[in-house]
A and B are shown apart, each in its own frame.
Chain A
Amino acid sequence: MLRLMVGLLVSEAQTDAQPEALPTISDRRKKETISQMATMTKKTQEIEQVTLRFAGDSGDGMQLTGSQFASTTAMIGNDISTLPDYPAEIRAPVGTTYGVSGFQLRFGASEVTTPGDVCDVLVAMNAAALKVNLRSLRDGGMIIANSGGFDDRNLKLSRYESNPLEDGSLSRYQLHLMDINKLTASALADMNLNMKVAARCKNFFALGVTYWMFNRPLEPTIQWIRDKFKKTPELVEANTRVLHAGYAYGETTEIFTVRYDVRPAKLSPGTYRFITGNEAFAWGLIAASVKSRLELFLGSYPITPASTILHELAKHKHFGVKTFQAEDEIAAITSAIGASYGGSLAVTTTSGPGLALKTEAMGLAVMLELPLIICDVQRGGPCTGLPTKTEQADLLQAVYGRNSEAPIPVIAPATPAECFEMAFEACRIAIKYMTPVLVLSDGYLANGAEPWLVPAPESLPTLPVRFRTEPQGFEPYSRDEQTLARPWAIPGTPGLEHRVGGLEKQHITGDVCYDPDNHDFMVKLRAEKVGRIANDIPLAKVDGEESGDILVVGWGSTFGAIRAAVEKVRSTGVPVSHLHLRHLNPLPRNTGEVLSRFRKVLIPEINLGQLSRILRERFLVPAIGLNRVEGLPLRTGDIEAKILEVLSNGH
């Protein structure tokens, strides 16, 4: 008991020097805790934020365990951010380090913007899981280890020379051992289940233990188990039992003396749900389809980590959604272009390698000037790269990566829930400007989840669409004076028969035209059309001082980590400003002006400096990059250190 409490307190003191303060206990509570230590056996301690990581074999159900913990936690009102971290192999050999699947989540009584740099508590279901994940556990953190997963075979497969649970190598941590395999088996002993089926319940034991430890209700998970296994009552019984057994184990055994409480966060009032980026993206498209009264068409080819958008949309056919799993990436986008010509709200979803394959067709969409949403859920690259990991290295591909001058608006959501808004925004721009629009999501946003304040449908703007129907004076490439959009004239409309294609168009008539002056004019016109969107998007808004020594600029999913880092530095009294760009092409009109008000511009990115290049090239600012390309979200601590380094480097 003493060891545990002191452990947490000591670790808190240590983290003060570290980039990110982990469980913070208010000073008052700290004193109370210490004074009451001697008199209470099981004590509840209040903490502000905590990071927890479940790790096991990819067959151990860690994603499920993590997401159950996450949704229960969201439901009781904590703010939360999640990071599923799983291997590309579906079922790598059991017990190996490359088969380890993890799920990290950070939750708190205050705003949580990242899933945490390092975790406070690591649940390791076997030796390989410990081996792979120990580096993400902070010094003094807690390990809940399933000792049943550390037999000779496990140790050998994960290349441990001796058992780390016994050889003292984990003395820097608070180690709690329990044989979850055995405890699960004995909880189910009288049920006559086959051994394999019984063993598969063990993740619920771990979940039960953590539910006890963090004082979470079991009911939402029990309900989930009931729904999930409604066809096999046996499994409902088994999993529920094991969950209870885990909870009871925490309650009754000697090894845990403290449990923790994380108070609900002060979130704005309203209806919330827990949502991943890909779900939010799919729903944003559905909302845009409803608000524009256009039928939604998705042409897509399976690719990690974008496929779940296809899965999600395929579930919602009652909205009239047409989902087409095409034979390849090219058919996916070209079928969407065909659908758009026919008057659908057409979308294609993919990841980097697929985006590369769609390149030529994106050029066609630029030429045809038809609305089209292209979503690239970025992953580690190049080539096949790291399919299940996150990266931000497709920015230049998105903005520039096509033959010739082929401008396409590019936008990027900052958080999982924001994928909803950005999908909607992409549709708005595409329809209004008759243009393809590229949305850059990434693996972290796609699979990560957070509580989302659900918008009221009435609060979403309508997306007005007018198909051209008037034959009088119709010219396929005439333009709206303000937006430069051409008319959307769909087949079936009498008198508007016309041909479009990938050959250069004559201004106004849209006839094939090889005239040099016309080509020069059209190249500039297409650029101008996309450029004008800058008049129709929010101005760049700085968080913090409007001018000063340093501005940290970010885009996409690094928002949370940057924000947390900026706040950490500010809390020490050093002013730091933060600008997050959601519109990357065109950039907000005042971007250059905003950048010029700061002495230093720091741009953290999960690439080798792609936004840095764009901003340097556009505004001649000496942007400084923070570039780590690990396939993981940036760490708050790294950003914080870099801010301080840049500030102290006074040239």
Chain B
Amino acid sequence: MASFFQLLVSGLATGAIYALIAVGFTLVWQTSQTINFAQGEFVMLPAFFILAAMNAGAPFWLACLIGIVLSVVILGLLFKFIIVDPMLKYGVLPLVISTIALSLFLKEGAKDFYSSQAQPFPSLVPATDFHVFGIVVSLQSLVVLAAATATVVALHVLLTKTRLGRSMQATAQNPTLARILGIDVNRMVLYTFLINGALVAIASILISPIYLAKFTNGETLGIAAFLAAIIGGFNQVRGAILGGVILGVLDNLSAAYISAQYRGAFPLIILIVVILFRPQGLLGRIEERTV
């Protein structure tokens, strides 16, 4: 059995990826009321963009760049203009159904156009282990953790330290008030979709070496993002980060120490406990809007 520390690091690494996915999910939900049930597939897909670019001869780093750009354009821009904007006119429910349909379409699309077989995906670093003070840690986990953390920190800096970011936060927290102050709400919403496009692509690059690129990857990832968002507080970016990390760590630890068989059940148990005792989520605030 792997050491506790090793499990902790790999749990944090998984959790940090969940956090990326959940943050994007939450941002999009907050600014546009879009509950994106295709978020998991959004993470599954960029890996295939990258593999396709590599098949066409691009080196890995260039393929990653292409994957991120395609993801921002297709899963950010086009998703907003082709699906969200037209459907949101009819209400939140039609939009939810559309994102569910989109998730099936992307899943089947990846299977038919690429492959139904799991594809090996290049890792950012070789699969070596690290020895720190006699403890063995996988280099890959550390790099994933560092990259995901750097991404979240960069996003946090953007959202809190720049005026543009604060306008985005304002739009997320109270779109009507944002409009009253003259903030270009539509533009801010568009930015969150583009950011989500980048976040899912980064998550895809980080997780695909571990999970392999497979058309079904979105199923578990989507649920993880959804759970992380709810656990942390649906209306909070910080909450989504916390929820993702908790989920990743507990998932790894419970699988090792309690039972790998019931691994899938633990996140749901956490979810139920959180909903029972803190229905607004760990860091969530109760919605208080007056306009």
Decide whether A and B assemble into one complex.
Answer: no
